[in-house]
Amino acid sequence: MTLRDVQVGQTAKVKKIDGEGAVKRRIMDMGITKGVEVYVRKIAPLGDPVEITVRGYELSVRKADAEMILVEE
């Protein structure tokens, strides 16, 4: 399951980040790393972006990036 599949109001734990190079580094620099809990606050009407809370702050993630983040509930 990816972060894109998590419903609004649910919390998920990051298992793995797919992707390579600069994209993976950018996601990790935002604080999304293996083992961290992510809370989905909102999803835009057309599905892009996804607003999440991670490590105590709000963050907007593009749909394409959210699909690279594998999570478990």
Structural domains of the chain ordered from first start:
3-72 (2.30.30.90)
- C-alpha distances out from residue 49 to 21, 35, 44, Å: 22, 22, 6
d(CA 73, CA 49): 21
pLDDT above 90 for 52 = yes
What is the structure's pLDDT at 48? 84
Parallel, antiparallel or unpaired: strands 37-43 and 57-61: unpaired
pLDDT above 80 for 47 = no
pLDDT above 90 for 46 = no
Residue identified by tokens 């083992």 is 35
d(CA 2, CA 57): 20
Mean pLDDT of the chain: 90
